[in-house]
Amino acid sequence: MGKLKTKLQEMSTDTIIEKTILASLMDNGFWSRWYVHGIDEDFVKAHRSKMITAEGWVTELSNKANEYKERADTFKSSNDFAKAEENYRKAGIYLNLAQWVYPEPHGIRADWYKKCLDMFELADEVSTGEIIRHTLTINGKNYGGRIHIPESEPQGVVILVTPTDSTKEEFYLYEQDFVNEGLAVVSFDGTGQGETLMVHGHKADYQSWKEFTKGVVEFAHLKFPHLSINLFGTSSGGAWAIESSRHPLVDKIVAVSPPTRYASNIRLPDYFRSRMSNMLVDFDTGYLPTFEEDSVSDIGNIVIVHGEKDLLIDGKELKQVYNNLDEEKRFITYENEAHCCDNKLGEIRHRSAEWFKGVNINDI
| Arithmetic mean of pLDDT over the chain | 93
The yes-or-no verdict on residue 309 having pLDDT over 90 is: yes
Q: State the distance between the two ends of the chain, measured CA to CA, in whole angstroms.
A: 44
- The pLDDT score that the predictor gives to residue 7 is 45
Helix (H) or strand (E) holding 159: strand 157-161
- The pLDDT score that the predictor gives to residue 211 is 98
In this predicted model, which residue has the larger pLDDT, 16 or 11? Answer: 16
The yes-or-no verdict on residue 243 having pLDDT over 80 is: yes
Q: pTM of this prediction?
A: 0.94
Among 150-164, 242-256, 267-281, which stretch is predicted with the lowest mean pLDDT?
A: 267-281
Sign for the pseudo-dihedral over CA of 102, 107, 111, 116 = positive
The yes-or-no verdict on residue 333 having pLDDT over 90 is: yes
Q: Provide the greatest CA pair distance for the chain.
A: 60
- The pLDDT score that the predictor gives to residue 159 is 98
- The dihedral region occupied by 79, where left means phi > 0, alpha psi between -120 and 50, and beta the remainder, is left
Where does the pLDDT of residue 339 fall: very low under 50, low under 70, confident under 90, or very high at 90 and above?
very high
Give the pLDDT confidence of 158-191 residue by residue, as tens digits: 999 999 889 999 999 999 999 999 999 999 999 9
- The pLDDT score that the predictor gives to residue 8 is 46
Q: What is the mean pLDDT of residues 247-265?
A: 88
**CATH domain 2-10+130-363 topology:** Rossmann fold (3.40.50)
The yes-or-no verdict on residue 197 having pLDDT over 60 is: yes
In the chain, domain spans: 2-10+130-363, 31-128
The DSSP 8-state label assigned to residue 329 in this structure reads E
- The pLDDT score that the predictor gives to residue 4 is 41
**CATH domain 31-128 topology:** de novo design (two linked rop proteins) (1.20.1440)
- The pLDDT score that the predictor gives to residue 1 is 35
Q: How far apart are CA 211 and CA 244, in angstroms?
A: 10
The yes-or-no verdict on residue 284 having pLDDT over 70 is: yes
Where does the pLDDT of residue 5 fall: very low under 50, low under 70, confident under 90, or very high at 90 and above?
very low
Q: What is the mean pLDDT of residues 307-330?
A: 94
